[in-house]
Homo-oligomer: A and B are copies of this chain.
């Protein structure tokens, strides 16, 4: 097997965290902004997020939600109404205290002491309390239910340690908020949205996830139940990729969301909330990226096919561009995954080889190069991002279909790639979940034995209170957390690895982002 000269300088196996940063930089996805904890999302990164938005928004609307927009600022007193909620967020909230600047007399500016707000405003870290205010106004009778709302917005949580896409002080997300007449319907809806997230992650992002309930200590502040989808990154760590919360009547009581039921009785609603954020972009990088950069599932690639004519700045260029344009137009008229193929004919200045590697690092699914000799032969040089290298000779694995063949086959290649990279990630994840570990010493040994130990599924008795706290502390020593209790796991058949009592369910243990 020949030596391959990869397109990045850092390999995943050598330094996964440095590799992650290099992909983001080399693919032109984002960079530090100079504002503490905030990033600039560059066009390629934002284009991926726009694709995610479009696909998830369709799924949210298909489940009868309506989009709306609530204020960025939340009065401090709103938070005080739900004790667990405020306790969960108070430590990381950006607070607006003034509404004007004045000269400081030294050539600079300071907040104007005369323009101090009577009540400070919090920049929303999440919007349960302010949606709650409106729901209390909008819900009067059982006829107003269910109320199913969603918003796409920026939120701020003042994080001390940040990492691009995965944990930033400001991030973009959607947050759904619904109110229901009773517990059964609200719990059911919590799981409906979890399933929407699972389908979005697996079908659109090609990112396999395990859906399940979070243990009590990992619940959203103020929730009765929190469910998540968890994805395994290539370093074996878990990424919580989306959460769906059943909030019981906690927020309904705090905000006064009541309705008159069919019998005329005033009754509190049961509410849910659920969110997915730009952290998903980080998940895609760490699920699909390789030592040559990003690899994008076609469904979320801003460009699915990039055609690169090898221009020479001479009279021949026009004919070459015309030759490429026919392929571009042929592809743009075809559909993949329910939408027209997104194809770019890249005629910008620059050397063809350099542009090829730029597109490889960006993860464009198919790259088509066309030189003068290709044109004369009626062919093109076609590179699949998921099968980049010819391992025999260490060279890029170009195919040489005729232009017509390329026009006919790329549709199938893109469809195949969407399922192929899902299967690859799914197989990797399954190979890295260890099951049947029956005592905690074996868990410790497993995580100590390897740099990329994956996940371990254990059985436990689901203790609460101090007993749970002790387990959390025990796990923390090994930097481990309980991810979730998978839906559809095998039945329990032994003792709890923490307490020795009869186990009641299975739970996944992992290091996590």
Give me the interface of A with B, judged by CB distance under 8 Å. 31, 33-35, 38-43, 45-47, 49-50, 66-77, 79-80, 86, 90-102, 107-111, 120-123, 130, 133-134, 137, 143, 149, 153-154, 156, 158, 170, 172, 349-350
Contact = CB atoms under 8 A, between A and B. Distances in A.
Given A75-B34, A90-B101, A121-B35, A68 B42 contact: yes
A137 B30 CA distance: 13
Given A66-B43, A133-B34, A349-B143, A111 B97 contact: yes
A390 B109 CA distance: 62
A383 to B, nearest CB: 24
Contacts of A43: 66-68, 149
Contacts of A97: 95-98, 111
Given A92-B100, A101-B122, A122-B101, A46 B68 contact: yes
A76 B172 CA distance: 23
A101 B95 contact: yes
Given A109-B80, A349-B143, A33 B99 contact: no
Given A76-B101, A123-B96, A71 B33 contact: yes
A319 to B, nearest CB: 24
Contacts of A49: 69
Nearest to A94: B96
A20 to B, nearest CB: 19
A436 to B, nearest CB: 44
A92 B102 contact: no
| 8 closest cross-chain pairs (CB), A and B | A43-B66, A38-B71, A41-B69, A99-B158, A95-B98, A90-B101, A35-B71, A95-B111
Nearest to A120: B111
Contact of A91 (B100, B153, B156, B158): B100
A107 B123 CA distance: 21
Q: Which of A97, A107, A153 has the most CB of B within 10 A?
A: A97
A49 B67 CA distance: 10
B122 A73 contact: no
Given A40-B70, A43-B149, A156-B72, A93 B86 contact: no
A36 to B, nearest CB: 8
22 contacts: A31-B137, A33-B70, A35-B71, A35-B74, A40-B68, A41-B68, A41-B70, A43-B68, A46-B68, A46-B69, A50-B67, A73-B94, A73-B170, A76-B108, A79-B101, A80-B109, A95-B100, A96-B97, A101-B122, A111-B120, A143-B349, A153-B154
B109 A99 contact: no
Contact of A170 (B71, B93, B98, B107): B71
Nearest to A119: B36
B98 A33 contact: no
A93 B102 contact: no
A469 to B, nearest CB: 22
B76 A109 contact: yes
Contacts of A71: 33, 35, 38-40, 170
Contacts of A349: 143
Given A72-B156, A76-B101, 11 more contacts: A33-B70, A41-B69, A46-B66, A47-B67, A73-B170, A76-B108, A94-B121, A96-B123, A97-B97, A99-B158, A100-B158
Contacts of A45: 68
